[in-house]
Amino acid sequence: MQRFRTLAFAAVLALAAPAASLAAGGGPAPPAQSWSFGGLFGTFDRASAQRGFQVYKEVCAACHAMKQLAYRNLADIGLSDAEIRAIAADIQVTDGPNDEGEMFERPGRPSDRFRSPFPNEKAARAVNNGAYPVDLSLIIKARPHGADYLYALLTGYKDEPPPGVPVMEGMHYNEWFPGHWIAMGRPLNDDQVTFADGTPATTEQMARDVTTFLAWAAEPELEQRRAMGVRAILFLIVLAGMTYGVKRKIWADLKH
């Protein structure tokens, strides 16, 4: 009975926790996808993340910044030093002031942050029909259902709204966007990019790849974190077992 009560107590407290995550939800959950980085031990599929970077660079980056990332970070998803230098050198960065007090343009370096497409939010809104393309650095962590939501959003565009839903001028109908009308037009169309590794660039494939890339961008520490977690928890389980043995031994001399 005593044990049961202890368990009941623990169960009640354990039940209290999911209430918090429920609060984060809202709306129906997008279909769960199988991700290379999913589960407890998943890791980022490097090839997919690299293709995803290509999709970001050639499609998303036209409007969306990723200011938390630097080009040097791309080494994490397997790009070589030379590739990173080449990618960085493709952009022009305003630096300075120099010794004459002038600002000047120079090619990008691996240490530079990803170039933002717009100088500020007002400029971004001015050319995007008043909408602000959000920074994508943390998008997977900043949306309920993270990767599943983004994949559903990117593949959830409908040419026509369902019958009876009034059309909103300048907006696009998306099955998964909260409120359904999204300012961003369908960003991905079949064969929009050409993957160097020959992977067919279907909308689904591009959505999957760019989501993998953005998941890495949001949590670049994920693989190191999980690897360390496995070691930490195994160590703690062994330590707990040994401590319990010592506890039994010490308490053995008490008469009960």
Partner 1 sequence: MVGLHKSEFKNPVVRWIDQRLPIPSLLQKEYAQFPTPKNFNYFWNFGALAMVNLVIMIVTGIFLAMHYTPHTAYAFDSVERIMRDVNYGWLLRYIHMNGASMFFIVVYIHIFRGLYYGSYKAPRELLWMLGVVILLLMMATAFMGYVLPWGQMSFWGATVITNLFSAIPIVGPDIVVWLWGGFSVDNPTLNRFFSLHYLLPFVIVGVVFLHVVALHITGSNNPLGIEPKGPQDTIPFHPYYTIKDTFGLCIYLIVFAFLVFFAPNFLGHPDNYIPANPLVTPAHIVPEWYFLPFYAILRAVPDKLGGVLLMFGSILILFVLPWLDTSPVRSMRFRPLARPFFWMFVISCVVLGYAGAMPAEGIWVTISRVGTAYYFMYFLVILPLLGKLERPLPLPDSIAAPVLRGGGPIPAGAAAKPMEKA
Enumerate binding residues for partner 1 (CB under 8 A).
2, 6, 8-9, 12-13, 15-17, 19-24, 26, 40, 68, 73, 134, 137-138, 141-144, 146, 178, 218, 220-221, 225-226, 228-230, 232-233, 236-237, 239-240, 243-244, 246-247, 250-251, 254-256
Q: Which lies closer to partner 1 via its Cβ, residue 19 or residue 103?
A: 19
Nearer to partner 1, 57 or 226 (CB): 226
Question: What minimum distance in Å lies between the beta carbon of 40 and partner 1?
Answer: 5
| CA atoms of 90 and 52, how far apart (whole Å) | 18
CA distance 114 to 123: 18
Instruction: Give min distance, CB of 12 to partner 1, in A.
Output: 6
Nearer to partner 1, 22 or 196 (CB): 22
**Phi/psi-derived region of residue 127, left when phi > 0, alpha when psi is between -120 and 50, beta in every other case:** alpha
Looking at the DSSP assignment, which residues form a beta bridge with residue 181? 173
3-state class of 7 per DSSP? helix
Q: What are 100's two structure tokens? A: 């004459």
| Smallest separation, CB 68 to partner 1 (Å) | 5
* Burial readout 21-55 (b: 16 or more C-beta within 10 A, e: otherwise): eeeeeeeeebeeeebbbeeeeeebbebbbbbbbbb
* Closest CB to partner 1 among residues 23, 82: 23
Q: Nearest approach, Cβ of 170 to partner 1 (angstroms)?
A: 20
Q: Which amino acid is it at 143?
A: R
Which residue lies nearer to partner 1 by CB, 86 or 237? Answer: 237
